[in-house]
Protein backbone atom coordinates (compact mmCIF):
# COMPACT_ATOMS: atom_id res chain seq x y z
CA UNK A 1 0.00 0.00 0.00
CA UNK A 2 1.32 3.41 -0.95
CA UNK A 3 1.47 5.64 2.13
CA UNK A 4 3.43 8.59 0.79
CA UNK A 5 3.55 10.45 -2.52
CA UNK A 6 7.11 11.07 -3.68
CA UNK A 7 7.89 14.38 -5.31
CA UNK A 8 10.09 13.12 -8.12
CA UNK A 9 10.53 15.34 -11.12
CA UNK A 10 12.79 15.76 -14.10
CA UNK A 11 15.37 18.34 -13.18
CA UNK A 12 16.43 20.90 -15.82
CA UNK A 13 20.20 21.24 -16.04
CA UNK A 14 20.11 24.87 -14.95
CA UNK A 15 18.02 23.99 -11.89
CA UNK A 16 20.11 21.13 -10.46
CA UNK A 17 21.73 22.29 -7.21
CA UNK A 18 25.21 20.91 -8.05
CA UNK A 19 27.54 21.85 -10.92
CA UNK A 20 27.83 18.74 -13.08
CA UNK A 21 30.52 18.44 -15.74
CA UNK A 22 31.26 15.27 -17.66
CA UNK A 23 34.96 14.36 -17.51
CA UNK A 24 36.53 15.69 -20.71
CA UNK A 25 38.86 12.69 -20.95
CA UNK A 26 35.89 10.31 -21.11
CA UNK A 27 34.09 12.45 -23.71
CA UNK A 28 37.11 12.58 -25.99
CA UNK A 29 37.87 8.91 -25.46
CA UNK A 30 34.27 7.94 -26.25
CA UNK A 31 34.25 9.90 -29.52
CA UNK A 32 37.67 8.73 -30.66
CA UNK A 33 37.04 5.05 -29.97
CA UNK A 34 33.79 5.23 -31.93
CA UNK A 35 35.44 6.98 -34.88
CA UNK A 36 38.57 4.84 -34.83
CA UNK A 37 37.02 1.99 -36.81
CA UNK A 38 36.75 4.30 -39.84
CA UNK A 39 40.05 6.17 -39.56
CA UNK A 40 43.25 4.74 -38.14
CA UNK A 41 44.09 7.84 -36.08
CA UNK A 42 46.04 7.14 -32.90
CA UNK A 43 44.36 7.89 -29.59
CA UNK A 44 46.04 10.86 -27.93
CA UNK A 45 44.94 12.56 -24.69
CA UNK A 46 47.41 14.95 -23.65
CA UNK A 47 36.43 2.97 20.03
CA UNK A 48 34.47 2.46 22.70
CA UNK A 49 32.43 -0.02 20.76
CA UNK A 50 35.27 -2.47 20.09
CA UNK A 51 35.04 -6.02 21.32
CA UNK A 52 31.23 -5.82 21.67
CA UNK A 53 30.86 -9.12 19.85
CA UNK A 54 31.64 -12.35 21.67
CA UNK A 55 32.21 -15.44 19.59
CA UNK A 56 29.25 -17.48 20.79
CA UNK A 57 25.60 -17.91 19.90
CA UNK A 58 22.73 -18.43 22.27
CA UNK A 59 19.24 -19.45 21.36
CA UNK A 60 16.46 -17.12 22.52
CA UNK A 61 12.77 -16.89 21.74
CA UNK A 62 12.22 -18.42 18.31
CA UNK A 63 15.42 -17.13 16.71
CA UNK A 64 19.06 -16.50 17.36
CA UNK A 65 20.87 -13.60 18.98
CA UNK A 66 24.57 -12.93 19.17
CA UNK A 67 25.68 -12.94 22.78
CA UNK A 68 27.01 -9.55 23.87
CA UNK A 69 25.85 -7.80 20.69
CA UNK A 70 23.48 -5.01 21.61
CA UNK A 71 21.70 -2.86 19.01
CA UNK A 72 21.98 0.92 19.29
CA UNK A 73 18.55 2.48 19.00
CA UNK A 74 18.22 5.47 16.65
CA UNK A 75 15.39 7.96 16.25
CA UNK A 76 14.55 10.29 13.32
CA UNK A 77 16.15 13.72 13.68
CA UNK A 78 14.17 16.87 12.96
CA UNK A 79 17.30 18.75 11.85
CA UNK A 80 16.98 19.50 8.15
CA UNK A 81 19.88 17.96 6.24
CA UNK A 82 20.47 17.46 2.53
CA UNK A 83 20.97 13.86 1.40
CA UNK A 84 22.93 13.13 -1.80
CA UNK A 85 23.38 9.69 -3.35
CA UNK A 86 25.09 8.44 -6.49
CA UNK A 87 25.40 5.27 -8.48
CA UNK A 88 27.07 4.24 -11.75
CA UNK A 89 26.35 1.36 -14.10
CA UNK A 90 27.98 -0.08 -17.19
CA UNK A 91 26.75 -2.47 -19.85
CA UNK A 92 27.92 -4.32 -22.92
CA UNK A 93 26.02 -2.82 -25.86
CA UNK A 94 27.12 -5.46 -28.35
CA UNK A 95 29.87 -6.73 -30.58
CA UNK A 96 31.15 -5.35 -33.87
CA UNK A 97 33.27 -7.05 -36.51
CA UNK A 98 36.46 -5.89 -34.77
CA UNK A 99 35.55 -5.31 -31.13
CA UNK A 100 33.03 -4.65 -28.39
CA UNK A 101 30.91 -1.60 -27.58
CA UNK A 102 30.28 -0.78 -23.93
CA UNK A 103 28.52 2.16 -22.26
CA UNK A 104 28.72 3.76 -18.82
CA UNK A 105 26.26 6.06 -17.06
CA UNK A 106 26.04 7.73 -13.65
CA UNK A 107 23.24 9.39 -11.69
CA UNK A 108 23.21 11.79 -8.74
CA UNK A 109 20.01 12.02 -6.68
CA UNK A 110 19.53 14.82 -4.17
CA UNK A 111 16.89 14.99 -1.45
CA UNK A 112 16.19 18.38 0.08
CA UNK A 113 13.08 19.24 2.11
CA UNK A 114 11.58 15.89 1.09
CA UNK A 115 11.80 16.75 -2.61
CA UNK A 116 13.91 14.63 -4.94
CA UNK A 117 16.09 15.93 -7.79
CA UNK A 118 18.20 13.90 -10.19
CA UNK A 119 20.94 14.47 -12.75
CA UNK A 120 22.12 11.75 -15.12
CA UNK A 121 25.52 11.78 -16.84
CA UNK A 122 25.74 9.63 -19.92
CA UNK A 123 25.40 7.18 -21.47
CA UNK A 124 28.99 7.34 -22.73
CA UNK A 125 29.67 4.60 -25.32
CA UNK A 126 33.16 3.24 -26.08
CA UNK A 127 34.29 1.01 -28.93
CA UNK A 128 36.99 -1.32 -27.57
CA UNK A 129 39.09 -3.45 -29.90
CA UNK A 130 42.15 -5.68 -29.55
CA UNK A 131 44.04 -2.94 -31.36
CA UNK A 132 43.16 -0.05 -29.06
CA UNK A 133 42.50 -1.59 -25.63
CA UNK A 134 46.07 -1.19 -24.39
CA UNK A 135 46.15 2.37 -25.72
CA UNK A 136 42.94 3.14 -23.85
CA UNK A 137 44.32 1.69 -20.63
CA UNK A 138 47.50 3.75 -21.00
CA UNK A 139 45.51 6.92 -21.60
CA UNK A 140 43.32 6.35 -18.57
CA UNK A 141 46.27 5.56 -16.31
CA UNK A 142 48.29 8.54 -17.58
CA UNK A 143 45.44 10.98 -16.98
CA UNK A 144 44.26 9.56 -13.68
CA UNK A 145 47.57 8.62 -12.09
CA UNK A 146 48.41 12.27 -11.43
CA UNK A 147 45.55 12.32 -8.94
CA UNK A 148 46.36 8.77 -7.76
CA UNK A 149 42.88 7.50 -8.57
CA UNK A 150 43.74 3.95 -9.49
CA UNK A 151 46.26 1.18 -9.35
CA UNK A 152 47.99 0.46 -12.66
CA UNK A 153 46.78 -2.84 -14.07
CA UNK A 154 46.75 -4.64 -17.39
CA UNK A 155 43.81 -4.99 -19.72
CA UNK A 156 43.49 -8.65 -20.69
CA UNK A 157 39.95 -8.23 -22.03
CA UNK A 158 37.34 -5.49 -22.64
CA UNK A 159 35.47 -6.30 -19.42
CA UNK A 160 38.47 -4.99 -17.47
CA UNK A 161 38.18 -1.64 -19.25
CA UNK A 162 34.42 -1.61 -18.76
CA UNK A 163 34.90 -1.82 -15.00
CA UNK A 164 37.72 0.74 -14.99
CA UNK A 165 35.75 3.32 -17.02
CA UNK A 166 32.75 2.94 -14.73
CA UNK A 167 35.04 3.42 -11.73
CA UNK A 168 36.52 6.58 -13.24
CA UNK A 169 33.10 8.09 -13.82
CA UNK A 170 31.98 7.11 -10.32
CA UNK A 171 35.09 8.66 -8.74
CA UNK A 172 34.58 11.85 -10.74
CA UNK A 173 31.00 12.15 -9.51
CA UNK A 174 32.08 11.50 -5.92
CA UNK A 175 34.64 14.29 -6.14
CA UNK A 176 32.04 16.63 -7.65
CA UNK A 177 29.73 16.03 -4.72
CA UNK A 178 32.42 16.16 -2.04
CA UNK A 179 33.85 19.47 -3.23
CA UNK A 180 30.57 21.29 -3.86
CA UNK A 181 28.39 20.62 -0.83
CA UNK A 182 28.78 21.08 2.91
CA UNK A 183 27.14 19.73 6.06
CA UNK A 184 25.27 17.02 4.16
CA UNK A 185 24.88 13.26 4.10
CA UNK A 186 26.53 11.52 1.13
CA UNK A 187 25.40 7.98 0.33
CA UNK A 188 27.59 5.58 -1.62
CA UNK A 189 26.74 2.18 -3.03
CA UNK A 190 29.32 -0.27 -1.70
CA UNK A 191 31.80 -0.06 1.14
CA UNK A 192 34.74 1.96 2.42
CA UNK A 193 37.15 -0.87 1.73
CA UNK A 194 40.24 -0.52 -0.45
CA UNK A 195 42.17 -3.38 -1.99
CA UNK A 196 39.36 -5.17 -3.83
CA UNK A 197 38.42 -2.36 -6.22
CA UNK A 198 40.00 0.06 -8.68
CA UNK A 199 40.22 2.82 -6.06
CA UNK A 200 43.63 3.17 -4.42
CA UNK A 201 43.93 3.32 -0.65
CA UNK A 202 45.54 6.77 -0.73
CA UNK A 203 42.79 8.26 -2.88
CA UNK A 204 39.96 6.77 -0.83
CA UNK A 205 41.64 8.22 2.25
CA UNK A 206 41.86 11.58 0.46
CA UNK A 207 38.14 11.57 -0.33
CA UNK A 208 37.29 10.88 3.31
CA UNK A 209 39.49 13.82 4.32
CA UNK A 210 37.67 16.10 1.87
CA UNK A 211 34.34 14.98 3.33
CA UNK A 212 35.46 15.76 6.89
CA UNK A 213 36.84 19.14 5.83
CA UNK A 214 33.46 20.14 4.38
CA UNK A 215 31.61 18.67 7.38
CA UNK A 216 29.97 15.99 5.23
CA UNK A 217 29.31 12.44 6.39
CA UNK A 218 29.71 9.49 4.03
CA UNK A 219 27.50 6.46 4.61
CA UNK A 220 28.24 3.51 2.32
CA UNK A 221 25.49 0.88 2.01
CA UNK A 222 26.07 -2.62 0.67
CA UNK A 223 23.08 -4.50 -0.70
CA UNK A 224 24.95 -7.79 -0.33
CA UNK A 225 27.45 -8.69 2.38
CA UNK A 226 29.51 -11.78 3.12
CA UNK A 227 29.65 -10.96 6.81
CA UNK A 228 28.85 -14.07 8.84
CA UNK A 229 28.97 -15.08 12.46
CA UNK A 230 29.77 -18.68 13.31
CA UNK A 231 28.59 -19.71 9.81
CA UNK A 232 25.26 -17.86 10.26
CA UNK A 233 24.35 -14.92 8.04
CA UNK A 234 23.80 -11.73 10.05
CA UNK A 235 20.49 -11.04 8.32
CA UNK A 236 19.08 -14.26 9.73
CA UNK A 237 20.45 -13.70 13.22
CA UNK A 238 19.14 -10.15 13.57
CA UNK A 239 15.59 -10.69 12.36
CA UNK A 240 14.25 -10.39 15.93
CA UNK A 241 16.06 -7.13 16.67
CA UNK A 242 13.90 -3.97 16.76
CA UNK A 243 14.23 -1.27 14.13
CA UNK A 244 15.46 1.35 13.58
CA UNK A 245 18.84 0.45 15.04
CA UNK A 246 22.49 0.08 14.09
CA UNK A 247 24.76 -2.69 15.31
CA UNK A 248 28.57 -2.31 15.38
CA UNK A 249 30.69 -5.18 14.07
CA UNK A 250 34.01 -5.88 15.71
CA UNK A 251 36.98 -5.98 13.34
CA UNK A 252 38.01 -9.38 14.69
CA UNK A 253 35.00 -10.94 12.97
CA UNK A 254 36.02 -9.69 9.55
CA UNK A 255 38.31 -11.63 7.25
CA UNK A 256 40.33 -8.68 6.01
CA UNK A 257 42.79 -10.76 3.97
CA UNK A 258 44.59 -8.11 1.86
CA UNK A 259 41.85 -5.52 2.28
CA UNK A 260 42.24 -2.17 4.01
CA UNK A 261 39.20 -1.15 6.05
CA UNK A 262 38.90 2.63 6.06
CA UNK A 263 35.41 2.49 7.50
CA UNK A 264 33.86 1.22 10.71
CA UNK A 265 31.34 -1.49 9.81
CA UNK A 266 27.80 -1.49 11.16
CA UNK A 267 24.69 -3.48 10.41
CA UNK A 268 21.84 -1.07 9.73
CA UNK A 269 18.27 -2.15 10.32
CA UNK A 270 16.47 1.09 9.56
CA UNK A 271 12.95 -0.30 9.21
CA UNK A 272 11.19 -3.56 8.48
CA UNK A 273 13.24 -6.75 8.60
CA UNK A 274 15.95 -5.96 6.01
CA UNK A 275 19.51 -5.57 7.29
CA UNK A 276 22.26 -3.84 5.30
CA UNK A 277 25.95 -3.40 5.86
CA UNK A 278 26.80 0.26 6.48
CA UNK A 279 30.36 1.63 6.45
CA UNK A 280 31.17 4.91 8.22
CA UNK A 281 34.45 6.86 8.32
CA UNK A 282 36.60 5.47 11.16
CA UNK A 283 37.60 8.99 12.18
CA UNK A 284 34.03 9.83 13.17
CA UNK A 285 33.05 9.44 16.79
CA UNK A 286 30.21 7.19 17.91
CA UNK A 287 28.04 10.23 18.58
CA UNK A 288 28.72 11.63 15.11
CA UNK A 289 27.78 8.29 13.53
CA UNK A 290 24.54 8.08 15.48
CA UNK A 291 23.72 11.69 14.63
CA UNK A 292 24.26 10.99 10.90
CA UNK A 293 21.96 7.94 10.92
CA UNK A 294 19.28 9.87 12.84
CA UNK A 295 19.46 12.64 10.23
CA UNK A 296 19.20 10.09 7.41
CA UNK A 297 16.00 8.47 8.65
CA UNK A 298 14.62 11.92 9.49
CA UNK A 299 15.27 13.48 6.06
CA UNK A 300 15.10 10.61 3.55
CA UNK A 301 12.39 8.07 2.90
CA UNK A 302 13.46 4.59 4.01
CA UNK A 303 11.85 1.75 2.06
CA UNK A 304 12.52 -1.83 3.18
CA UNK A 305 15.47 -0.56 5.21
CA UNK A 306 17.14 1.15 2.22
CA UNK A 307 17.47 4.92 1.59
CA UNK A 308 15.24 6.16 -1.24
CA UNK A 309 17.91 8.48 -2.69
CA UNK A 310 20.28 5.55 -3.18
CA UNK A 311 17.52 3.40 -4.63
CA UNK A 312 16.59 6.10 -7.17
CA UNK A 313 20.24 6.61 -8.12
CA UNK A 314 20.48 2.90 -8.92
CA UNK A 315 17.20 2.89 -10.89
CA UNK A 316 18.06 5.98 -12.98
CA UNK A 317 21.60 4.81 -13.81
CA UNK A 318 20.62 1.27 -14.83
CA UNK A 319 20.29 0.58 -18.56
CA UNK A 320 17.01 -0.80 -19.87
CA UNK A 321 16.57 -3.02 -22.92
CA UNK A 322 14.95 -0.19 -24.90
CA UNK A 323 17.88 2.10 -24.14
CA UNK A 324 20.36 -0.48 -25.38
CA UNK A 325 18.42 -0.73 -28.66
CA UNK A 326 18.39 3.07 -28.91
CA UNK A 327 22.16 3.28 -28.36
CA UNK A 328 22.75 0.61 -30.99
CA UNK A 329 20.63 2.58 -33.47
CA UNK A 330 22.45 5.82 -32.64
CA UNK A 331 25.89 4.25 -33.16
CA UNK A 332 24.82 2.77 -36.48
CA UNK A 333 23.37 6.05 -37.76
CA UNK A 334 26.08 8.44 -36.55
CA UNK A 335 29.23 6.30 -36.65
CA UNK A 336 28.42 3.45 -39.00
CA UNK A 337 29.01 0.90 -36.24
CA UNK A 338 26.99 -2.22 -36.91
CA UNK A 339 26.21 -4.49 -33.99
CA UNK A 340 26.36 -8.13 -35.07
CA UNK A 341 24.63 -11.10 -33.48
CA UNK A 342 27.08 -13.91 -32.91
CA UNK A 343 25.57 -17.37 -32.39
CA UNK A 344 25.67 -18.56 -28.78
CA UNK A 345 27.68 -21.77 -28.61
CA UNK A 346 26.25 -22.49 -25.16
CA UNK A 347 22.67 -22.19 -26.40
CA UNK A 348 23.45 -24.28 -29.49
CA UNK A 349 24.92 -27.05 -27.36
CA UNK A 350 22.71 -27.00 -24.26
CA UNK A 351 19.55 -25.15 -25.23
CA UNK A 352 17.60 -24.08 -22.13
CA UNK A 353 20.00 -25.98 -19.86
CA UNK A 354 22.88 -23.56 -20.21
CA UNK A 355 23.70 -22.17 -16.78
CA UNK A 356 25.81 -19.08 -17.41
CA UNK A 357 24.25 -15.74 -18.35
CA UNK A 358 25.44 -14.34 -21.65
CA UNK A 359 25.17 -10.69 -22.71
Note the pLDDT tens digit of each residue in 84-105.
999 999 999 988 888 889 999 9
**Contact status, residue 227 vs residue 125, Cβ threshold 8 Å:** no
**Contact status, residue 346 vs residue 353, Cβ threshold 8 Å:** no
13 within domain boundaries? yes
Other beta carbons within 10 angstroms of residue 327's beta carbon come to 19
Q: Would you state the pLDDT for residue 65?
A: 45
Domain that holds residue 264: 9-45+71-340
2 within domain boundaries? no
Alpha helices, H only, the chain: 24-35, 133-145, 158-180, 201-213, 234-237, 286-299, 308-317, 321-335, 345-350
Residue of 229 and 61 predicted with greater confidence: 229
Residue of 16 and 312 predicted with greater confidence: 312
16 within domain boundaries? yes
Mean of all residue pLDDT scores within the chain? 76
| Range from 31-40, 61-70, 188-197, 317-326 that averages highest in pLDDT | 317-326
Q: Would you state the pLDDT for residue 308?
A: 94
Query: CA–CA separation, 139 vs 45, rounded Å?
Result: 6
359 within domain boundaries? no
Average pLDDT over residues 286-300: 91
pLDDT tens-digit series, residues 158-194: 667 888 888 888 888 898 899 899 999 999 998 887 6
358 within domain boundaries? no
**Contact status, residue 178 vs residue 29, Cβ threshold 8 Å:** no
In the predicted model, is pLDDT for residue 125 greater than 50?
A: yes
**Contact status, residue 36 vs residue 30, Cβ threshold 8 Å:** no
In the predicted model, is pLDDT for residue 213 greater than 80?
A: yes
Q: How confident is the model at residue 114 (pLDDT cuts 50, 70, 90)?
A: confident
For residue 118, the domain's CATH number is 3.30.420
**Contact status, residue 183 vs residue 112, Cβ threshold 8 Å:** no
Q: Would you state the pLDDT for residue 3?
A: 44
In the predicted model, is pLDDT for residue 320 greater than 60?
A: yes
Residue 149 phi, psi (nearest 5)? -65, -50
**Degrees (nearest 5) of the Cα angle 290, 294, 296?**
115
In the predicted model, is pLDDT for residue 52 greater than 60?
A: no
Least confident piece of the model among 8-12, 88-92, 193-197: 8-12
Q: What is the 3-state secondary structure (H, E, C) of 78-106?
A: CCCCCEEEEEEEEEEEEECCCEEEEEEEE
323 within domain boundaries? yes
In the predicted model, is pLDDT for residue 352 greater than 80?
A: no
Residue of 78 and 194 predicted with greater confidence: 78
Q: Would you state the pLDDT for residue 64?
A: 39
Q: Would you state the pLDDT for residue 315?
A: 94
**DSSP-based three-state secondary structure for 146:** coil
Query: CA–CA separation, 161 vs 167, rounded Å?
Result: 10
58 within domain boundaries? no
Sheet holding 7-8, edge to edge: 7-8, 115-129, 99-112, 83-95, 185-189, 217-222, 276-281, 263-269, 245-248, 72-73
pLDDT tens-digit series, residues 222-267: 876 666 665 566 666 666 777 888 888 776 656 555 556 778 888 8
Q: Would you state the pLDDT for residue 329?
A: 92
Average pLDDT over residues 13-34: 73
248 within domain boundaries? yes
Total domain count for the chain? 1
Amino acid sequence: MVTKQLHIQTTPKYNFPLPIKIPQELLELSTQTLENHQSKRNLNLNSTLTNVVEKSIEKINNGYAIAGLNPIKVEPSSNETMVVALDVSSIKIGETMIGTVIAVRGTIVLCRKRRYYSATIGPLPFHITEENKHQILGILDANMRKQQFFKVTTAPDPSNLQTKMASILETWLKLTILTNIQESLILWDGSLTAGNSEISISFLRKMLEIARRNRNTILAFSKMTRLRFSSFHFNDLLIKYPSPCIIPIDDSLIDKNRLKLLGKIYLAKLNGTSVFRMDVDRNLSVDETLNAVCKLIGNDLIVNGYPETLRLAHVFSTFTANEVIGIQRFLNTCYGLKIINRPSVRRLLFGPFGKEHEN
